[in-house]
Amino acid sequence: MSAVEPPPSDGAIVAKPLPRVVAHTDGGAAPNPGPGAWAAVLQYGGHAWEISGAVPATTNNRMEIQAAIQALRALNRPCAVELHTDSDYLRQGITSWIHGWKRNGWRTSTKEPVKNRDLWVELDELSSKHQIDWRWLKGHAGHRWNERCDELAGAAMARQRREMSGTQLREAMETFKRSGLA
């Protein structure tokens, strides 16, 4: 409140509305598993920011989660976020399945360890800082910002392939498979 604005007469604290951000995310690996990339477009106040990155050995699902993580990491304060993804795995995982996973010690309903637990834990922590409306949209259906994320991820994946030799990519894949994350 400003110095000239009196407090509410009932003593209630008036909270400022959170800044509203619209985020679109996408990720993938080609082949799956293989070299992968993620991308996000964040919109706030009439501006759009594009971010992307690549990983030499990963899966589609890991890159979808990573795209959401990176979008939320880019926010420097709590926000009301409308996050669009074409990954039902991501949307269902963070809005529904994660509650059972945490209750069951990061085990699925069939008692198997949750895949991508490391990323789910990070996404859960980042999500707790914001008010997020997770929205699914059909991929490759002409949605401007989803298509842009797909282009950005594709370009990041292409850069990764140019920067690493075939031998380096194969070694990265072997290390990834040994990690148990594949």
The answer to the question of residue 142 being in a domain is: yes
pLDDT at 123 over 60: yes
Q: Which amino acid belongs to residue 17?
A: P
Q: Which residue has the tokens 């980042």?
A: 126
1-5, 131-135, 139-143: which is most confident: 131-135
C-alpha–C-alpha distance, residues 84 and 24, integer Å: 5
Rounded Cα–Cα distance for residues 24 and 134 (Å)? 10
- Convert the pLDDT of each residue in 55-83 to its tens digit: 999 999 999 999 999 999 999 999 999 99
Mapped onto helix, strand or coil, the DSSP state of residue 38 is strand
Structural domain span for residue 53: 20-166
Whichever domain contains 83, its CATH number is 3.30.420.10
Sign of torsion over alpha carbons 50, 125, 98, 32: positive
3 located within any domain: no
Predicted local confidence at residue 1, as pLDDT: 42
User: Which residues are known catalytic residues?
Assistant: 26-27, 64, 86, 140, 150
The sign of the dihedral angle between the CA atoms of 68, 71, 74, 75 is negative
